[in-house]
Amino acid sequence: MDLRTLNRTTLQRQLLLGRSSGLSPYEAIRHLVALQGQDPNPPYLGLWSRLESFTLDALTGLLHGRQVVRSSLLRGTQHLCAAEDYVWLRPLMQAPMSRARQGSFGRATRDLDLEQFAKHARELLEGRTLTRPELAALLMERYPGYDKLALGWSAQALLPLVHTPPNGTWNRRGATPFTLAEEWIGRPVESAPPVERLITRYLAAFGPATVKDVQTWSGLTRLREVMEAMPLRRHGELYDLPDAPVADPGTPAPARFLPWFDNLVIAHADRSRLMSEQARRRVCPGGSLVYPTFLVDGIVGGIWDFVDGDLVILPFDPVADDDAAELTAEGGRMLAFAGFEAGSVTWMPPHDGTTTTWPPSTWPGPR
């Protein structure tokens, strides 16, 4: 499969070749499996770029209605997903979350009986919501001498917890609240969900993909034997669902803005279907940072952000006049969606990322 066909197929499955009018926000979240949610606003912007007539209240209502939950999931990072998916997705994430906890806090908690610790943390959360610092302070009373940060993060890694609204809704930040998932959702998590379910859902939204792609996105390991045993279609090293459509490579790709941490940008080990290696290094410069990007003809063309009520666009290379006009119009619509009706679209000169001024020292963080 050539790169252009792969690009168009992925964009089609990501609802980025044309905004969907047939999917509700809830159905779109289920299709996309989970939305990256370290910051509250990116999931809203990601859905706006993919759905017709999407409003802020649509997602906020799903969070307050407990149909969608926010929690530590893929790769141990915060995501939004449907509650009915959380109950099987969270147990599959226990192994990578335990590895991450051990790597960060294993030494600080080496004498801790983790099973007993998790039981005590659950007892402290039964029937109430606590922030991580509040929970850690209570755990310190039972486990004096341990690092407070290690106790709070260990509880988060070992227990199925959700972060309840209004925290995590549009522009609402602050200390992360913890609530037992089974109490918030009203049902326990599954005991042994099949990993094939996760692979199937990933391919439907991000495929075709390699084994490494699935592992990069999920944080799981040793999936090759599992995928080879599944009834999947093969395109060389790429796996796909047997009946999944392949897009016409000639399909036009409209201008689109992707928010901070958008899953599409980090959902594959090989990101050449979406950007060059040089662009990848600029968009994902290390650590957990993933800049918001814009697409020109389906390919990442640069980064953007809201700055003092305006939309600032920084291209990596010169953008053709027609493409720039399309992006400016799309950017104006995004400003209005985000509540910056009086804002304007500002273009910065192309920046090739080869000097010490990259990334811009004044470039803001997610907000």
pLDDT greater than 70 at residue 360: no
Cβ-contact 335, 311 below 8 angstroms: yes
Angle (deg, nearest 10), helices 148-158 and 94-105: 170
pLDDT in tens, 191-209: 999 999 999 999 999 999 9
Between 127 and 288, whose confidence is greater? 127
Burial class (CB in 10 A: 0-12, 13-18, 19+), 226: middle
The backbone region for 75, taken as left when phi is positive above 0, alpha when psi lies in -120 to 50, beta otherwise, is: left
Q: How many alpha carbons fall within 13 Å on the CB side of residue 315?
A: 17
Burial class (CB in 10 A: 0-12, 13-18, 19+), 249: middle
Angle (deg, nearest 10), helices 3-13 and 195-206: 110
The backbone region for 302, taken as left when phi is positive above 0, alpha when psi lies in -120 to 50, beta otherwise, is: left
pLDDT in tens, 139-152: 999 999 999 999 99
pTM of the predicted model as reported, rounded to 2 decimal places: 0.95
pLDDT in tens, 264-305: 999 999 999 999 999 999 999 876 789 999 999 999 999 999
Task: Kindly state the tokens that stand for 160.
Answer: 């199925």
